[in-house]
Chain A
Amino acid sequence: MSALLTVENLNVSYGAIKAVQNVNFTVHDNEIVSLIGANGAGKTTILRTISNLTKPTSGHINFQNQDILGMDSAKIVSSGIAQVPEGRRVFAGMTVQENLQLGAFTRDKGTNLKSEYALIYDQFPILKERRNQDAATLSGGEQQMLAMGRALMAKPKLLLLDEPSMGLAPLFIEKIFDIIKTVNAQGVTVLVIEQNANQALKIADRGYVLESGQITMTGTGAELLASDDVRKAYLGG
């Protein structure tokens, strides 16, 4: 297995606050890697730094053996990294279809995207029903699906998911994690960050535990699920 994404000695600060300290981790081809941790542990900061929404103080981020740190966000997307941000962040005032079209922005050169919408609509039938509806009128779970469909429209090699289960009904959470597995089986590598440690570790090949900006534990998903420390801290004993 070769490394698709390598994060080395990453440090990110917001003023005097060190949000991420000396973080190292690797995501291999075709893996699902879960990064778990409490609120404020620095998970979102790490994903934002990978997508160049936040500037780090130091460190390296390599994707397919290329240093992508500080690279133009359009280049990051077209090199194969798509992110589903925390809170879905679908574009309100635009239709479901327009949201999907924006997902393919870096590839949208007047080409026909019809067959690609069809693929997404196959995977998320509810989006097809709602394709001409304003994205803001969708339920939370539907918005999560739209945000995922939108990210997949970029044809990513690596999909970054920030708290995909946040605020969703249990039934939807189950569904979302099923979809993550399906997407992974189709050849997309997944890095997911979650407070819902149980679900995230169940589907993960490997996981990392982040506490106060530092990685404190790592192992396979099953190992971490069985670990006493993880269970006490994140799974309610």
Chain B
Amino acid sequence: MTLFIQQVIKGLMLGSVYALLALGYTMVYGIIKLINFAHGDIYMLGAYFGYFFIKVLHLNFFIALILAMAVSAVIGVLIEYIAYRPLRHSPRIAVLISVLGISFLLENGMTYLYGSDQRSFPQAIKTVQYHFYGIQVSNIQLIIAVTSVVLMLLLTYVVKRTKMGRAMRAVSADPDAATLMGININHTISFTFAIGSALAAAGGVLIGLYYNSIDPLMGMTPGLKAFVAAVLGGIGIIPGAAVGGWLIGILETMVQATSFSAYKDAVVYAMLIVILLIKPTGILGKNKREKV
């Protein structure tokens, strides 16, 4: 039982990071109905920015986290401007290709500039282990969980209560009608990319802190898994991304704890096939009926 709880905690921690990433996928999908396949690379960039701010500029971890989120938000807006906006009215496959191009550019550009070797992420916060009734939790795990939850609550507030959040939901529901309200679609899409990218960067920095290592291809696998999480929760549905992220995190850790640990990634991807076969709208997705 202790082992089980220990794994659930680990899964929730990993899942929080997937959830942060999945939120970006789901928000971007909600607003432009396209998957941002460069999203995992923004997570990678976020980790590198965090590395730079801590290791080179010797900033406090949380300040570095916020700065990495801010810089990545700008990068996300740029990606949208370069790779999506000119193709707004093109077939979806064209956009998909252009975004994959950005993804390769970021991965290989970072490899070219900084090498493909893993770098050790600075130990900005000293690890302390706590023990409760035989269960071990580290302060790093707590920081990851708490930071993720705080960011999710902040996002919920922005989406539900602010003017920009209402604009996002309106554009997502009906872009033409949103335009008739005087909402600027381009600004709203940029804002969505900024928020999604900031969350991905937060995930990258947190993972850097936890695993102590970053590399230019670190975004590929978590990017895909977070995509699965977003689909599992219901793509386009914000709470769904959080639910999906945690479930995928727990699933992966559980499989890892068994003798099938070599299949931990395969199980997550198999999950995608299962959801698409059984409930393509995801756990929180509803089959929409239109009223006339």
| Interface residues in chain A, defined as those with a beta carbon under 8 Å from any beta carbon in chain B | 51-53, 72-78, 82-83, 85, 87, 89-94, 98, 101-103, 105-106, 108, 110, 136, 138-140, 143, 150, 154, 167
Contacts and interface: CB of A to CB of B under 8 A. Distances in A.
B154 interface: no
A111 to B, nearest CB: 11
Nearest to B286: A93
A90 B182 CA distance: 15
B291 A77 contact: no
Interface in B155-201: 163, 166-167, 169-170, 173-174, 176-184
Interface string B266-292: 000000000000000000000010011
Nearest to A109: B163
Given A85-B176, A102-B167, A139-B291, 9 more contacts: A51-B179, A52-B179, A73-B182, A85-B177, A91-B174, A92-B173, A92-B288, A102-B181, A105-B181
Rank and list the top 10 A-B pairs by shortest CB-CB distance, nearest first. A77-B182, A89-B177, A106-B182, A74-B182, A91-B173, A105-B181, A73-B179, A102-B181, A83-B180, A105-B182
B147 to A, nearest CB: 28
Contacts of A103: 181
Contacts, number: 77
A167 B292 CA distance: 7
Contacts of B184: 72-74
Contacts of B170: 91, 94, 102
A14 to B, nearest CB: 13
Contact of B180 (A82, A87, A136, A140): A82
A103 B173 CA distance: 14
B173 A77 contact: no
Contacts of A154: 181-182
A106 B167 CA distance: 11
A93 B169 contact: yes
